[in-house]
Amino acid sequence: MEIKGEYQIAAMRGVVWQALNDPDVLKACIPGCEEFERAGENSFRAKIKATIGPVRANFNTILSLEDLNPPESYRLVGESKAAAGFGRGIANISLVETEDGTLLRYDADFKVGGKLAQVGSRLVVGATKKTADDFFSAFCTSLDPAAYRVDEEPEAATKSAVPKTWLAVAAAAIVLLIWWFLLG
């Protein structure tokens, strides 16, 4: 499953890069993030309690940064585990200098396993897009209250009453987000 997005942020690229590497900023932008710590020079460990409606899961996440090319790009490789299953994926993130500041681009490829795959793999993409969007808007607005998403959508995935099983999936998707902000 692939998802991608672009955000325009009115901040210097170096500032954005730094924020993406600041555990405190990231932790603040991840819903339910209880712990976020550096595990090595280019890796992080996080614990996230994702609670949506009646579904709650604790995800242990490990992220590592590869192909670092500051302040332009890097690759984030992550894996999240919980009793409800696992998610793993790769996200490519790039920062492009623009007239108005910085354009943040991400494209991620991920997959899920265990109960997450069993009960809702086809729902994960939509839910993950929403969560990704939530994270990046929180991240971007923390740097620039006027930051906005450049590429169109998101439509359907975000609205409506979500059945309970979807919620578990959405919870998992939150975990996936972690990778992205971990980039920082």
Partner 1 sequence: MQTKVSCTLNGEDVSADVDSRTLLVDMIREQLSLTGTHVGCDTSQCGACVVHVNGRSVKSCSMLALQAEGAEIITIEGVDSNGDLHPMQAAFREHHGLQCGFCTPGMIMSALDLVQQNPDPDDKEIREWLEGNLCRCTGYQNIVQAVKAGAKSMRAGGKEAE
Partner 2 sequence: MTKNGMGASVRRKEDYRFITGSGQYTDDINRPNQVYAYIVRSPVAHAHIRDLDISAAVATPGVVAVLTGADMAADEVGSLPCGWGINNKDGSPMFEPGHPPLAADTVHHVGDQIAVVIATSRAIAKDAAELVEVDYDELPVVAGLEAASADGAALVWPDAPGNVCFDWEIGDKAATDAAFEQATRVASIDVVNNRLIANAMEPRSAIGEYDSGKDEYTLYTTSQNPHVIRLLMGAFVLGIPEHKLRVIAPDVGGGFGSKIFHYAEEAIMTWASRKLKRPVKWTAERSESFISDAHGRDHISHAELAMDDDGMFLGLRVSTRANLGAYLSTFGPSVPTYLHATLLAGTYKTPAIYAEVKGMFTNTVPVDAYRGAGRPEASYLLERLVDRAAKVAGLDPIEIRRRNFIKPEDFPYQTPVALEYDTGDYEAAVEKALELSDYDNFESRKNASAERGKLRGIGISTYIEACGIAPSNVAGALGARAGLYEAGTVRVNPTGSVTVLTGSHSHGQGHETTFAQLVTEALGVDFDAVEIVHGDTGKVPFGMGTYGSRSAAVGGVALVNALEKIRTKAKKIAAHLLEASADDVEFKDGQLTVVGTDRSVGFGDVAMSAYVPHNYPLDELEPGLEETAFYDPKNFTFPAGCHICEVEIDPDTGVVQVVRFTAADDFGRVINPMIVEGQVHGGLTQGIGQALYENCVYDESGQLLSGSLMDYCLPKADNVPDFAVTTNVTPCTHNVLGVKGCGEAGAIGAPPAVINAVVNALAEFGIDDMPIPATPERVWQAIQAAK
**Which of partner 2, partner 1, none does residue 164 bind (CB under 5 to 8 Å by kind)?**
partner 1
Q: How far is the CB of 129 from partner 1 (least distance, A)?
A: 23
C-alpha 4, offset from chain centre: 11
Spatial distance between the Cα atoms of 85 and 114, rounded to a whole number of angstroms: 4
Size of the site for partner 1 (CB under 8 A): 5
Residue closer to partner 2 (CB basis): 6 or 79: 79
| CA dist 102 → 25, 68, 156 (Å) | 17, 18, 28
Query: Does residue number 118 form part of the binding site for partner 1 (CB under 8 A)?
Result: no
Distance (Å, rounded) from C-alpha 27 to C-alpha 47?
10
Which of partner 1, partner 2, none interacts with 12 (beta carbon under 5 to 8 A by kind)?
none
Residue 54 as a binder of partner 1 (CB under 8 A): the answer is yes
Q: Whole-number minimum distance, CB 165 to partner 1, in Å?
A: 5
Q: Which is nearer to partner 2, 40 or 70 (CB)?
A: 40
- Rounded CA-CA distance 89/95 in Å is 20
Phi-psi bin for 153: left (phi > 0), alpha (psi -120 to 50), beta? left
Determine, following the binding rule CB under 8 A, whether residue 161 of this chain makes contact with partner 1.
no
Give the binding site for partner 2 (CB under 8 A): 57-58, 82-83, 85-86, 111-115, 117-122, 165
Q: Which stretch binds partner 1 (CB under 8 A): 3-11, 73-81, 146-154, 160-168?
A: 160-168
Please say which residue, 135 or 166, places its beta carbon nearer to partner 2.
Answer: 166
Binding window for partner 1 (CB under 8 A); candidates: 1-9, 81-89, 143-151, 157-165: 157-165
Taking alpha carbons only, the member of 181, 102, 107 closest to residue 148 is 102
CA-to-CA dists, residue 122 to 8, 76, 101, 111, 128, angstroms:
29, 23, 36, 11, 11
C-alpha 66/C-alpha 69 separation (Å) is: 9
| Interface residue list for partner 1 (CB under 8 A) | 54, 119, 163-165
